Chain A
Amino acid sequence: MTPKEAANKKVLIANGQGFWGDSILGPVRLVNEGPLDYLTLDYLAEVTMSIMQKLKTRRPEMGYATDFVKLIDRVLPQLVEKNIKVVANAGGVNPHACKDAVMEIISKHGYSGIKVAVVEGDDILEGLDDLMSKGEEFKNMDTGAPLSTVRDSVTSANVYLGAFPIAEALDQGAQIVITGRGTDPGLVIGPLIHEFGWTKEDYDKIAAGTVAGHIVECGAQCTGGNYTDWREVPDMARIGYPIIEASDDGTFVVTKHEKTGGLVTIPSVAHQLAYEMGDPANYITPDGIADFTSFSMEEEGPNRVRVSGVKGAPPTPTYKVSMSYHDGWKALGQLTVSGPDALAKAQLCAKIVWQRLALDGYEYTPEERMVEFVGANVCHDGIAIPGAQEPSEVVLRMGVKGPDRAKVDRFGPELVPLVTSGPPGVTGFAGGRPKATEIIGYWPALLRKDLVKTHVTVFTS
């Protein structure tokens, strides 16, 4: 590639999945409705890893995002025809099982020669005791407590890997890259490193990729989804998922396919830039630090926002580790209370439940119990609502939590009896008795990078 060709080269990267459970229509439409070079898919939230670990314990062939395999089954012909590459953190805690399932789909469709890569090294659960015996304390980043205080309850432990292993997989010719835990923006930065040959010292460019990745990581949240002025958003049913049109110099345009719904404007992009933001000047990833106060944005055309001037700094010597641990039990249930006097009756219902449980010897502290009257300003509790009226009906939502499973489970059976032994107009008890479910605690920590080994394996179908 000549320098001029490199300067003119544009790479199109879309994100079709903001979380495990996002609509399959996002990625299906992205591969069908316009040009695309890369499709990224983000399936992993913090608690997802713990849930996957549990699934894997029960069935060794599980523990990854099964939605991903269904998606590949549905769009594989288009991916092959248009040569669209896929980068997904669908591997969860079992990336090889995910890869095996994808390979099966590929052969079912009659294709061969497609390369599928697995990025590993993020899962440190098995090596945790070894690392602790070598002096790693895994202090909780929020509380400062050492991991030893909850070690016996830990159910998953994963490092947020960076983008370079993804780039390595693409360098080796992979069309589908499956990872476990990594940073969300890394799914976008990896293809950029591969396409433009960026190095680890290209701090500003890596930071630009980080900003781009952050903008698209929640799918339609930058194209008019969850947008303050929702009445201004056209055709939300057919909302376009976001596409990054990236250049070698680190500038990029946020856009979406033509004739899709939603909007891409400076405010729509700024909404997402502000999402899950901490200190905007220090957005830390394993590949570098991005300064979200450094760049400028410009609306260069309809549904086209150009971002330029992103500044970055060298990475820290540590990886962030995301661990989950068993943190007790909770039970939640709800009933609907109609008017007249819906709120007063719902308040009485709640009082009755706590009183009856106390009669049986079960008392819950204010921290262990919760009551909400949905319809009577639960979400904006304490904030004045001009012109607010008494609700004509409310949903009584109650819950308890604590370390004692039996005590948590005792709560559920006292909710439904309100229908016949409480005030009139209580209904909506479908769903049965609330039962105790596990609380999965989140334990963020840091780990020296030299203690983590990542590796990339490429398989050919």
Chain B
Amino acid sequence: MPQVPLSSIAFARSGDKGEGSNIGIIARSEQAYVFLKQTLTPDVVRSHMSSINPGGVKRYTADNMRVLNFLLADSLGGGGSASLKTDAQGKTHGLGLLRLELKVPQEIIDSISGGPGKV
């Protein structure tokens, strides 16, 4: 099975949510969404982002948008104006998660036939 970064099968958008951040992972195809719903668990995200986020990770799903929404509880160094971090709003957390290397079946990779920009 090919090992590819999450970015090859998903988009991401992240931002601040209280003292933590949210990362919306948007699958690039329906097959990729079904695959990620199985494999991209809160534990996987928590472990990948553990230096940034010492807190817990919660996941919501929205099938209609092919979105897996992850809430990172403590990823902003205090959050709001109390944070001393460069990325005090978690703007870059989505791209950080997209760096995750995953073993992905070839047919999932092939399902992203429309190229970037098509869901």
Most buried by B among A232, A274, A370: A274
Complex-state Cα separation, A296 to B79, whole angstroms = 34
Q: Is the CB of A270 within 8 A of B96?
A: no
Q: Is the CB of B67 within 8 A of A142?
A: no
B32 near A: Cβ within 8 Å? no
B12 near A: Cβ within 8 Å? yes
Interface of B is mostly: mixed
Residues of A within 8 A of B65 (CB): 270, 273-274, 280, 292-293, 297
Chain B, residue nearest A437 (CB): B81
Residues of A within 8 A of B15 (CB): 275-276
Q: Is the CB of A372 within 8 A of B85?
A: yes
Residues of A within 8 A of B50 (CB): 382
Q: Pick the contact of A439 from B22, B60, B82 — CB < 8 Å?
A: B82
Residues of B within 8 A of A227 (CB): 11
- How many chain B residues touch A (CB < 8 A): the figure is 53
Contact (A274, B51) CB under 8 Å given A228-B98, A267-B118, A374-B86? no
Q: Is the CB of A229 within 8 A of B117?
A: yes
The A/B interface has a contact count, at CB < 8 Å, of 159
A397 near B: Cβ within 8 Å? yes
B62 near A: Cβ within 8 Å? yes
Residues of B within 8 A of A382 (CB): 49-52
Q: Is the CB of B82 within 8 A of A142?
A: no
B35-75 Cβ-contact flags toward A at 8 Å (1 or 0): 00000000000001111100000001111111101010000
Q: Pick the contact of A384 from B14, B62, B98, B99 — CB < 8 Å?
A: B99
Q: Is the CB of B96 within 8 A of A275?
A: no
Chain A, residue nearest B22 (CB): A277
Complex-state Cα separation, A397 to B79, whole angstroms = 18
Q: Is the CB of A266 within 8 A of B119?
A: yes
A366-388 Cβ-contact flags toward B at 8 Å (1 or 0): 00001010100011111111000
Write the residues of chain B forming the contact surface with A, with a CB cutoff of 8 angstroms: 7, 11-19, 22, 24-26, 28, 48-52, 60-67, 69, 71, 77-82, 84-87, 91-92, 94-96, 98-101, 116-119
Identify 5 residue pairs between A and B in the complex whose beta-carbon atoms are under 8 Å apart, listed by A's number.
Answer: A142-B19, A277-B22, A385-B99, A399-B84, A401-B78
- The 8 A-B pairs of least Cβ separation, nearest first, read A274-B24, A382-B51, A370-B84, A399-B84, A228-B11, A379-B92, A229-B116, A380-B96
